Structure 1
Amino acid sequence: MSACSQPVEDSSAAATTNAVPSADSSPLTGVWEMTSLTVAGEPVPYSGQIAFTADTVAVQASNPDTAAPDTPYAVAGYEAYYGGLSVDDAAGVFAIDVESAAARDLVGQTLTRTFEVIDDELVLTPTDPSEGFRVTYERLTD
């Protein structure tokens, strides 16, 4: 979910993991607050939240530097998008079909991410390692 990474347009990733819409019992379901973001191993000063329901996800994140250059995810240091969600809990992979986004080029893309939930911590990484980001969140609500 990094504002500094590239979108993943490979919708086949979701299909090859047998992703299906998540049930409310998925460990992803709930609202999470960003605790750290690293890109290429370097910390990035973003803050934000991600909210998962059974079949949708919404992401908001911001860089305190509003003069930061635009990225594929962020405009004026702000990242926001939402869309339909498919989750394969067993494989630890989800896909977002972006319906709306501050960075308009994301609309219509499918973003795939790997995830790990341990207790109340969520770690997201791209399915494409060349994107090079890692973001962690703390659970706020179920």
Structure 2
Amino acid sequence: MLNNAAVLKIQDALVIVMHGNMNDHSVKQMQHTVLAQIEQTPVSGLIIDISQLDIVDSYMVRLFSDTAQMAKLLGVEVFLVGMQPYVALSMVEMGLDIRGIKTALTVDHVFEILHNGVPYAVRRGAPQ
């Protein structure tokens, strides 16, 4: 476990649950830990759960994006889940870019995508 995050292996994915007020050091520590875990434990997905974060700043988003790019180079699909609407609004207003990171509402949605290749909402017949 990291300072403000828990790292779990669930099925064939690494799940990072971010909680509390993250600072620059703890986000950077998360990046190093995640990359080491991917090297040690083969996984097909990396899920970064930010549902418990009230604030996501530009440095944090850049590190999430950088981590996603690094994980993709190692053959791992990356998802950012649990984004609060006001966090999404802030990210758009700041012009932050999360290219390379797929998003999903919940961790369950990610496992649906990883195992079936079909987004949960599409499988359930939601309009596309």
TM range, smaller chain: under 0.3
| Higher share in helix | 2
Higher relative CO (Cα under 8 Å, sequence separation at least 6) belongs to 1
TM-score, normalized by length of structure 2? 0.24
TM-score, normalized by length of structure 1? 0.22
